[in-house]
Amino acid sequence: MIEVKDLYKGFEGQEVLKGIDYVFERGKTNLIIGQSGSGKSVFLKCMLGLFKPDRGTIAYDGKPFSSFSDEEQRELRKEIGMLFQGGALFDSMNVEENVMFPLRMFTKQRRKEMLSRVHEVLERVNLEGTGKKMPSEISGGMQKRVAIARAIVNKPKYLFCDEPNSGLDPKTATVIDNLIQDLTHENDITTVLITHDMNSVLEIGERIAFLKDGVLAWKGTKHEIFKTKDEAVTDFVYSSDLFQKVRDAQQQGQ
Amino acid sequence: MTYLHSIGEYFLMLKGVFGRMTKTSVLRNLILKEINDLIMGSMGIVAFLSFFIGAVVAIQTALNLNNPLIPKTLVAYAARQSVILEFSPTFISIIMAGKVGSYITSSIGSMRVTEQIDALEVMGINSKNYLIFPKIIAMLTYPFVIAISMFLGMSGAYTAAVLGGFVTSDQFITGLQEDFTPFHLTYAFIKTFMFAFILATVPAYHGYYMKGGALEVGEAATTSFVWTSVVLIVTNYIVTQLLLS
């Protein structure tokens, strides 16, 4: 569980995050949605410790991140898996080496044990037999799955995903969404996922935080988001023609 | 102010490079890979340039010795002094700033653009140490490259001078040994070590702190070459002033 209290962050006098309070629950896919420039990425980077908040606290399982010693921060980072927007796979390593990387850095396992775990997670993301390929030799969707495999290989307690579906076709995007949700449930991970893809909201939005201009404007579930009368949320949700048509069809059906 | 900021940032980067170390077994593999990429990968061009530079220096010297009172051994003497003191350490380092420097800037810059450096940081890895320290250690073998360059430069001079009929083999060997000052070699290798550090760290700085996309990676590589060359030339001047004046 990650608890965020009264979080403020600004750059050069301009406030980006303005007093965010939110709890990311364990074993659930927690989505952060909002328009571009609403502060989602800054929020994520604050949680990852890449940005230092101006005010407020971020607590991992009850312990504020700011109170962690350097050693404790390093230990915490070993329990974090991160899926970057572009995958961020290491170009100089093949798929197997990419996935093995966290194990090589943080464990004292023998190579045979590491390889066994790598093959296990590659199988879990349906990428058996691709271990020797270089990232440039596989598709964007496969790269995302390799990145997921790398993020979960060390059995993290927290999984952060920055727009995992960007640049993917709808079918592959659904596969990635479902994979993230399944892994969250199987391993009881606290998953935090940034997206502005409404299909993802429909698929895996177990808990949703809607950011608008750096403020937490709404929170709820995927079932609640389509019923809310909150103008800011409805503006965002129904900005797509498809969702407008779904809503109109539902209203006509009623 | 921008320059001062960059200089400060460069030294802070160096502090980070020698900060928390990467796991030894991982570091060992990274160093071997960098030696292969940075040093072994440059041997071909260094050998080619050194041989022909030595040859040209010998021919130019021979063609300009019109006075019969000047001994022919001066051809080898001049070639030796030019190659050992400047052509091998400095000229080859400028070439390396283009080859190795651009490679270092673009490889680290691409990692910055594609969030690979962020990925390292999120995992709790000291990205400066992981990326730059192995390059510095690999470049410690750079003086071997310069030693080979000196040998090939003199071989080129010998080939051009003797086969070109400018001097006899005996005259060349005599000239090669004439008034030899061992400290000149020490001076050359002291500055080579300093150049090696510059060649590893200045391009790494330009790659590590670059902002933008693919286009900016190219710009960073060009800027890196310019600044690495400037720092090399200024360092060369200061070291020569301090050690030889």
How do A29-33 and A63-64 pair as beta strands? unpaired
By Cβ distance, the residue of B23, B110, B121 closest to A50 is B121
By Cβ distance, the residue of A91, A92, A105 closest to B123 is A105
**Are the C-beta atoms of A193 and A32 separated by less than 8 Å?**
yes
Confidence category of residue A128, pLDDT binned at 50, 70, 90: confident
| Interface touch A78/B122, C-beta < 8 Å | no
**Are the C-beta atoms of A88 and B119 separated by less than 8 Å?**
yes
Assigned token pair, A63: 């312990």
Q: Determine the angle formed by the axes of helices A140-152 and A95-106, rounding to 10 degrees.
A: 20
Determine which of A45, A51, A84, A98 to mutate to test the interface with B (most B C-beta atoms within 10 Å). A84
Residues of A with a Cβ under 8 Å from any B Cβ are: 48, 50, 73-74, 76-78, 80, 82, 84-86, 88-92, 101-102, 104-106, 160
The domain limits of chain A are: 2-79+157-253, 89-155
Residue A253 confidence (pLDDT) above 70? no
The domain limits of chain B are: 21-244
Please give the pLDDT value at position B46.
95
Chain A partners of B33 at a C-beta cutoff of 8 Å? 92
Residue A249 confidence (pLDDT) above 80? no
Q: What is the pLDDT of residues B139-150, one digit of tens each?
A: 999 999 999 999
Q: Which of A32-36, A49-53, A113-117, A241-245 has the highest mean pLDDT?
A: A113-117
How do A29-33 and A190-195 pair as beta strands? parallel
| Interface touch A88/B26, C-beta < 8 Å | no
Residue A108 confidence (pLDDT) above 70? yes
Q: Please give the average per-residue pLDDT across A193-212, as a whole number.
A: 87
As a whole number of angstroms, the distance between CA A61 and CA A46 comes to 16
CB proximity B37 to A under 8 Å: no
Please give the pLDDT value at position B205.
96
Residue A252 confidence (pLDDT) above 80? no
Query: Which of A170-179, B44-53, B168-177, B213-222 shows the lowest per-residue confidence on average (mean pLDDT)?
Result: A170-179
| Interface touch B118/A50, C-beta < 8 Å | yes
Q: What is the pLDDT of residues B30-60, one digit of tens each?
A: 999 999 999 999 999 999 999 999 999 999 9
Chain A partners of B118 at a C-beta cutoff of 8 Å? 50, 84, 88
Please give the pLDDT value at position B135.
96
Interface A:B, Cβ pairs < 8 A: 49
By Cβ distance, the residue of A73, A84, A104 closest to B119 is A84
Q: Please give the average per-residue pLDDT across B118-131, as a whole number.
A: 92
Confidence category of residue A58, pLDDT binned at 50, 70, 90: very high
Nearest chain A residue (CA) to B123: A77
Domain A2-79+157-253 has CATH 3.40.50.300: yes
Helix H segments across B101-181? 102-113, 116-122, 127-139, 142-163, 169-177
Q: What is the pLDDT of residues A205-248, one digit of tens each?
A: 889 999 998 999 999 888 888 788 888 888 887 777 777 777 67
The pLDDT mean for chain A works out to 87
Beta-carbon count within 10 A of B217 CB: 22
Q: Which long-range contacts (CB under 8 A, 24 or more apart) does B126-130 make?
A: B126/B16, B126/B19, B126/B20, B126/B21, B126/B22, B128/B13, B128/B16, B128/B17, B128/B19, B128/B208, B129/B16, B129/B17, B129/B18, B129/B19, B129/B20, B129/B21, B129/B22, B130/B22, B130/B26, B130/B30
CB proximity B114 to A under 8 Å: yes
As a whole number of angstroms, the distance between CA A16 and CA B50 comes to 57
| Interface touch A91/B26, C-beta < 8 Å | no
Total length of chain A:
254
| Interface touch B122/A50, C-beta < 8 Å | yes
Closest alpha carbon to A53 in A3, A6, A5, A9: A9
**Are the C-beta atoms of A25 and A50 separated by less than 8 Å?**
no
CB proximity B115 to A under 8 Å: yes
Beta-carbon count within 10 A of A56 CB: 18
Please give the pLDDT value at position B11.
95
Q: What is the pLDDT of residues B5-27, one digit of tens each?
A: 999 999 999 999 999 899 898 99
Chain B partners of A50 at a C-beta cutoff of 8 Å? 118, 121-122
* Neighbouring residues of A78: CB distance < 8 A, sequence distance ≥ 6: A102, A106, A154, B123, B124
Give the dihedral sign, CA A54/B113/B29/A144: positive
Please give the pLDDT value at position A254.
58
Question: Which percentage of chain B shows pLDDT scores above 90?
Answer: 84
Q: Please give the average per-residue pLDDT across B210-237, as a whole number.
A: 93
In the β-sheet with A2-11, what is the strand arrangement from edge to edge?
A: A14-24, A2-11, A55-60, A63-64
